[in-house]
């Protein structure tokens, strides 16, 4: 295999692992240490504004309704999420963030922005453009590979 391909693979794996570890560490050190990364991602999928149906959230997270139900039950007990039935169709269950859930969402969003800002301090404008172009291409190709396998 080409040395560049080996190094690119190694760097992608390392970057992914590093981001996950930094994210996990930041959660455990912050005000929301009772949340797991999975729970933070569930909060993100619900979103700040309005409510979403359980099926919309499950689809966004690519998990089963059963798995989501367990996660939502935990988040309700912790005070981050509220659940309600639709007024028009009682079979539809909606979820939304509480004030505490919205605060967790905003703080996690700020964590990501601060991390990107800190990383970008070492880049000049041209390097930023090259990185952005490369990440767009990477994202496109990963989605293409993933969607073509379904």
Q: How far is CA 90 from CA 85, 86, 87, 94, in A?
A: 5, 5, 6, 10
**Which residues, listed in sequence order, are joined to residue 81 by a DSSP beta bridge?**
97
Q: Residue ranges per domain, the chain?
A: 3-149
Q: How far apart are CA 42 and CA 10, in angstroms?
A: 29
pLDDT at 1 over 80: no
Instruction: Indicate the pLDDT class of residue 150, thresholds 50, 70 and 90.
Output: low
CATH of domain 3-149: 1.10.10.10
Arithmetic mean of pLDDT, 97-111: 94
Arithmetic mean of pLDDT, 81-96: 91
Tell which wins on pLDDT, 149 or 131: 131
Apex 113 CA angle, 107 and 115, nearest 5: 100
For tokens 């933070």, what's the residue? 40
**Residue 31: its pLDDT value, please?**
80
Inter-helix orientation angle 54-61/37-46, to 10°:
130
**Residue 149: its pLDDT value, please?**
63
**Residue 127: its pLDDT value, please?**
96
User: pLDDT of 3-53, one tens digit each?
Assistant: 999 999 999 999 999 988 888 888 888 788 899 999 999 999 999 998 999
Query: Which residue from 84, 110, 96 is spatially nearest to 27, judged by alpha carbons?
Result: 110
Question: What are the residues whose beta carbons fall under 8 Å from the beta carbon of 42, sequence distance 6 or more?
Answer: 57, 61, 68, 71, 72, 75, 81
Q: How far apart are CA 74 and CA 39, in angstroms?
A: 9
Structural contact between residues 58 and 71, judged by C-beta atoms closer than 8 angstroms: no
Query: Which residue from 73, 77, 57 is spatially nearest to 65, judged by alpha carbons?
Result: 57
Tell which wins on pLDDT, 95 or 90: 95
């Amino acid at each position: 295999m080409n040395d560049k391909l080996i190094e690119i693979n190694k760097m992608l794996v390392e970057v992914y692992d590093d981001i996950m570890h930094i994210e996990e560490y930041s959660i455990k050190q912050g005000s929301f240490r009772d949340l797991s990364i999975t729970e933070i991602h569930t909060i993100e999928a619900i979103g700040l504004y309005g409510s979403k149906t359980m099926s919309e959230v499950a689809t966004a997270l690519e998990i089963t309704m059963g798995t989501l139900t367990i996660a939502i039950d935990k988040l309700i007990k912790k005070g981050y999420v509220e659940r309600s039935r639709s007024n028009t169709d009682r079979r539809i269950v909606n979820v939304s963030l509480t004030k505490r859930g919205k605060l967790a969402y905003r703080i996690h969003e700020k964590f990501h922005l601060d991390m990107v800002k800190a990383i970008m301090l070492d880049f000049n404008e041209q390097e930023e453009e090259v990185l952005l172009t490369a990440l767009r291409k990477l994202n496109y190709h990963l989605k293409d590979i993933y969607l073509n396998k379904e």
